[in-house]
């Protein structure tokens, strides 16, 4: 049958990324407590398309995924990128895997156990022989406003925030390490299940640890900046304000290493 995608295109325009987006697929993630965690990811796969070709072969992306069914994880990530590049005869390949990751957490006082969800991403690119991978971890936190506490006779407003840490992957680390580091940098952690005694503790604990969005960014950065496993990282924090009609936001990247 005629290969239409491989036919010539006269417009002389390269396409930087072409492929499939939003496909759901099972993946295995390394789990510190249970060794392996099975989850379902949303996957985007792209390659570079030279100007001379009319289109790419979309079915080949699915074939690559099928070949790695049950073995799609961080250890095989660069291998998959190389296979994509070769299968599509492309110069560059991109693979984006986003997935929910679950950790069993105990409430601070009652010790009642529940599963807490964290959203993570692997964002990778292969350009010739050069490979690059970023790991992104989103961690919900609670913050209490220092200004509100300072100027109020009774109480202070607090809000839930989201911290996004993006790390250039060079050396193995546990997702749990990043989550714990972020949670220790906010006014309080967030839990899926709490009893009244837990709510009392968290409310008082947050009150004793007021933090602006800028404080959280700096606390996380301070803890990451001297870890040699992370040659580059960024920290992004958004607080979903409880008394304002806007979010508070802060972002920074890793400072140069000495």
What's the whole-number average pLDDT of the chain? Answer: 91
| Strand-pair category, 158-168 with 233-240 | antiparallel
Does the residue 147 lie in any domain?
A: yes
User: How many other C-beta atoms are found inside a 10 Å radius of the C-beta of residue 175?
Assistant: 19
Query: Model confidence at 55, in pLDDT bands (50, 70, 90)?
Result: low
The HSE-up count of residue 64 (CA atoms within 13 Å, CB side) is: 28
In a domain, 96, yes or no: yes
- Inform me whether the pLDDT recorded for 5 exceeds 70: no
Residue 92 lies in a domain: yes
51 falls in which pLDDT band (50, 70, 90)? low
Residue 166 lies in a domain: yes
Query: Is 258 part of a structural domain of the chain?
Result: no
Domain CATH for 78: 3.10.270.10
User: In this predicted structure, what is the pLDDT of residue 234?
Assistant: 97
> Domain of 165?
15-253
**Overall domain count for the chain:** 1
User: What are the helix (H) ranges across the chain?
Assistant: 58-67, 77-87, 146-151, 175-183, 196-208, 213-224
Residues 6+ apart with CB under 8 A from 240: 159, 160, 161, 162, 247
User: Considering the domain boundaries, does residue 4 fall inside one?
Assistant: no
- Helices 58-67 & 77-87 angle (0-180, nearest 10): 150
Res 101: pLDDT? 97
Grade residue 2 by pLDDT with cuts at 50, 70 and 90.
very low
Least confident of 5-14, 38-47, 161-170: 5-14
3 located within any domain: no
Would you say residue 7 lies in a domain? no
State pTM to two decimals: 0.90
The confidence band for 231, taking pLDDT boundaries of 50, 70 and 90, is very high
């Amino acid at each position: 049958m005629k290969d239409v995608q491989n036919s010539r295109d006269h417009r002389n325009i390269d396409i930087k990324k072409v492929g499939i987006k939003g496909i759901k697929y099972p993946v295995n993630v390394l789990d510190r407590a249970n060794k392996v965690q099975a989850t379902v990811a949303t996957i985007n796969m792209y390659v570079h398309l030279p100007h001379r070709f009319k289109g790419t072969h979309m079915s080949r992306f699915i074939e690559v995924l099928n070949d790695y069914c049950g073995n799609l994880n961080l250890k095989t990530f660069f291998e998959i990128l190389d296979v994509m590049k070769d299968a599509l005869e492309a110069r560059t390949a991109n693979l984006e895997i986003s997935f929910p990751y679950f950790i069993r957490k105990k409430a601070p006082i009652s010790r009642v156990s529940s599963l807490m969800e964290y959203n993570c991403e692997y964002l990778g690119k292969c350009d010739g022989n050069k490979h690059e991978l970023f790991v992104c971890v989103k961690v919900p936190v609670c913050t209490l406003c220092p200004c509100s506490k300072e100027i109020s006779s009774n109480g202070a407003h607090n809000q839930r925030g989201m911290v996004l840490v993006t790390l250039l992957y060079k050396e193995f680390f546990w997702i749990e390490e990043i989550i714990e580091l972020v949670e220790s940098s906010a006014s309080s952690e967030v839990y899926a299940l709490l009893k009244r005694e837990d709510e009392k503790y968290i409310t008082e604990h947050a009150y004793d640890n007021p933090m602006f969005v800028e404080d959280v960014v700096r606390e996380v950065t301070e803890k990451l900046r001297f870890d040699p496993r992370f040659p580059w990282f960024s920290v992004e924090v958004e607080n979903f304000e409880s008394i304002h009609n806007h979010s508070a936001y802060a972002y920074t990247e890793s400072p140069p290493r000495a």
